[in-house]
Amino acid sequence: MAKNTNREQEKNEMQNMAEILKAMAHADRLAILKLLCKNQVEGLTVKTIYEKLQLEQPVVSRHLNILKSAGVVRRLQEGQKTNYCLCTDKKNIESLLKCFC
């Protein structure tokens, strides 16, 4: 019975990793991740991201929502200002992000 539990846990971990990789598998999202890696301490606003990457604001917002849903980035609210930063509290995401940072 313990083997089944371990297999199920491993299968769940692999499924989770696949979802994270799917969320990251877009050139614009990879560019966003690379930019966030360079600004890990304070994070970045949507405006800063779309200006630096020369993308439209709705495009960046959509990509950030996808990355947030996958647990790759998190949103930090500071009064009226919202910053996005990497979510490094998950071991598998931290491992993946080492490729970028």
The domains of the chain are located at 2-97
Q: Is the predicted pLDDT of residue 1 greater than 60, yes or no?
A: no
DSSP category for residue 82: E
**pTM score, whole prediction:** 0.83
Average pLDDT over every residue of 16-36:
91
Helices (H), 1-101: 2-24, 27-38, 46-53, 57-69, 91-97
- What pLDDT sits at residue 61? 96
Fold held by 2-97: Arc Repressor Mutant, subunit A (1.10.10)
Q: How confident is the model at residue 31 (pLDDT cuts 50, 70, 90)?
A: very high
